[in-house]
Amino acid sequence: MLELTGASPDRMMVRLGPFDGAADPSPNAVSGVIGSDVIRVWTGRWSPPSGSDSCRHPNAQPTVLGRVMVDGSDLVFLPRLPFLSGQVYTACVARTDLDDFAERSGVSFVWPGHAVELTEPVMWLVMSMSAQPVGSAPTVTEVWPEEQLVPDNLLRLYVHFSEPMLERDVEQSVRLLDEQGIEIEDAFVAIPNGLWDPSSTRLTLFFHPGRIKRGVGPRERLGPVLESGRQYELVVGGDLSSRRGASLETEVRRRFEVGESDRRSPRSEAWRLASPDGPNGELTITFDEALDRAQLETAVVVQKELQPGVYEVVAGSVEVSKDARIWSLTPQTSWLPARYRVTVSSSVEDLAGNTPLRLFDVAISGIEAGSRPGSIRRSDEPQSAVEWFFEVSRREGGASDESEGQVE
């Protein structure tokens, strides 16, 4: 018999059987890609006529393009293009094809202790990709910022999905509603095919900057998108679908409140580093205000000094607190006795797009209190806004700060 052991848009896994005893999933004599004709796959449902000894389609329909590989005890068919939902496929394995393969390659299908003996000359199965592809529907896992209260000049929202999504225009699918459920037109910048991260799991929504910056046309004409003291709801439509063709099914709503404008640069001199308190301890940085979480992923770099001036990035898992004010790193391997450097890029932005060095929006009428006159844009922006060093001592395995935060 031919048993379907797994199916997803990018693969069909089958197992040959039955064997004497259970098939052992440990590595076998054959592995990797073994060509294309050991499993033959066709669209549609059909069965070989009885007495047939080869996989031959009654209407000579061509097979689906793909490759076959061996994975443990499974034969895996990898289609050239993903299997489609709603489409029926028939897979067929013939003893003659296995024999041909064995002859060609000099290896036979041997699971430990079991040479493959097909009980019948031809075995087939019919697989149907259900309208909702195998597995659960994709979900929205997070929306950043997570804080309920955001400034009225919030620059971006990030929507995270549980799996890679189909990149397409999102204007029709992603909407912003006010308290009355009335849609706010032109809230986000329209970007062809949406602005997705390389893994297609994070969608960035830019509030229209022309409606954030004071004194520019769109804001004068349409007003700001968000107004302090009001509530809004982001609606992500259920029609967004993943690359494997599964849609969200239900729309996702995320409500948030809007507070005062944030027209101050993050004050990097107020950021604090807490060095790890043990060989596997967390390194944490506390910021003076919520920062852009997506940017924090690359803005903070922890390096170990190998020799003076030569550094290696410390790998580990990074957590950012819900309020996006605390960044922490748990190292993959223990902190070793060495000097470590921690840097935070000067281009990291707060929720309103202000960096330690410049404001996103400067009032035409004058510079507001709390901003940094003359620092709207500097071509020679340094790489890092803050640089700290700390040393892990040999004796304790713990760490001690060598220096306070040094503000550029």
Partner 1 sequence: MKRLLALACAVAGLVVLAPLVSGLSSSADEQIRQSLESGNADPKSMSVLVFSPDGILFIGDSKGGAVFAVETKAERNDDAEPIQLANVEAAIAARLGTKAEEVMIHDLAVHPVSYEVYLSVSRGRGDWESIWQLPNHVADAGILLKVTHDGAIEEVALDNVRFARIALPNPVAADKKHPFMTELSLRTDTITDMALSGDTLFVAGLSNEEFASALWRVPVPFEDGTSATTVEIYHGAHGTYETHAPIRTFVPYELGGEQHILAAYLCTPLSLFKVKELQDETHLRGRTIAEFGSGNYPLDMVVVEGETSDRIIIANSNLPLIIVDSDDIEAFDGQIIEQPEQYSAGVEHVKRSGTGIQQLDLMDNRFLVTLQRMPNGSLDLGATPLRRG
Q: Taking CB under 8 A as the rule, does residue 13 contact partner 1?
A: no
Query: In whole angstroms, how close is the CB of 79 to partner 1 at the nearest point?
Result: 6
Options 8, 52, 63, 204; binder of partner 1; rule CB under 8 A? 63
Of the residues 29, 81, 149, 363, which one makes contact with partner 1 according to CB under 8 A? 81
Query: Residue 172 CB, nearest distance to partner 1 (Å)?
Result: 10
Looking at 60-68, 105-113, 219-227, 256-264, which segment touches partner 1 (CB under 8 A)?
60-68
* Minimum separation from the CB atom of position 32 to partner 1 (A): 17
Contacts of 105 (CB under 8 A, 6+ apart): 30, 34
Contact 393, 340 (CB under 8 A): no
Q: Is 168 in the site for partner 1 (CB under 8 A)?
A: yes
Report residue 95: phi and psi, to 5°: -60, -40
Site for partner 1 in 26-45 (CB under 8 A): 41-43
The reply on whether position 174 binds partner 1 by CB under 8 A is no
Does 61 bind partner 1 (CB under 8 A)? Our answer is yes
The helix (H) or strand (E) run that includes residue 157 is: strand 156-161
Q: How far is the CB of 219 from partner 1 (least distance, A)?
A: 22
32 to 17, 77, 80, 82, 281: CA distances (angstroms)? 20, 11, 16, 19, 41
Give the contacts of 37 (CB within 8 A, at least 6 positions apart). Answer: 63, 68, 97, 100, 101
Strand order in the sheet with 316-320: 272-274, 283-286, 326-331, 316-320
Tell me: does residue 8 bind partner 1 (CB under 8 A). no
Tell me the sheet residues that pair with 350. Answer: 291
Give the nearer residue to partner 1 in terms of CB position, either 79 or 259.
Answer: 79
**C-beta atoms surrounding 341 within 10 Å:** 17
- Closer residue to partner 1 (CB): 191 or 301: 191
What are 369's strand-pairing partners?
none
What CA–CA distance (Å, rounded) separates 68 from 83? Answer: 15
For 295-314, letters b (16+ CB in 10 Å) and e give bbeebbbbbbeeeeeebeeb
Structure tokens at 184: 């706010």
Q: Looking at beta carbons only, is 32 or 62 nearer to partner 1?
A: 62
Region binding partner 1 by CB under 8 A among candidate stretches 62-70, 140-148, 322-330, 362-370: 62-70
* 83 interacts with partner 1 by CB under 8 A: yes
**Does residue 47 touch partner 1 according to CB under 8 A?**
no
Residue 57 or 254: the one with the smaller Cβ distance to partner 1 is 57
Residue 107 CB, shortest distance to partner 1, in Å, is: 24
Q: Note whether 195 binds partner 1 by CB under 8 A.
A: no
Residue 198 CB neighbours (<10 A): 7
| Binding status of residue 107 toward partner 1 by CB under 8 A | no
- Per rule CB under 8 A, is residue 64 in the interface with partner 1? yes
Q: Does residue 192 touch partner 1 according to CB under 8 A?
A: yes
Q: Alpha-carbon distance 183 to 281, whole Å?
A: 47
* Best CA proximity match to 249, nearest among 257, 262, 258, 240: 240
Q: From the CB of 396, what's the least distance to partner 1, in Å?
A: 51
> With CB under 8 A as the contact rule, which of the stretches 102-110, 173-181, 185-193, 225-233 interacts with partner 1?
185-193
252-259 and 149-151 beta bridge pairing: parallel
To partner 1, the closest distance from the beta carbon of 292 in angstroms equals 24
62 binds partner 1 (CB under 8 A): yes
Binding span for partner 1 by CB under 8 A among 73-81, 207-215, 266-274, 320-328: 73-81
**Contact between 79 and partner 1 per CB under 8 A:** yes
> Quick check: helix, strand or coil at residue 210?
helix
**Site size with partner 1, rule: CB under 8 A:** 20
Question: What is the C-alpha to C-alpha distance for residues 257 and 198, in angstroms, rounded to an integer?
Answer: 30
- The answer to whether 87 contacts partner 1 (rule: CB under 8 A) is yes
Cα radius of gyration rounded to whole Å, the chain = 29
Name which of 89 and 207 has its Cβ closer to partner 1. 89
Judged by the rule CB under 8 A, the positions of this chain that interact with partner 1 are 41-43, 61-65, 79-81, 83-84, 87, 89, 168, 190-193
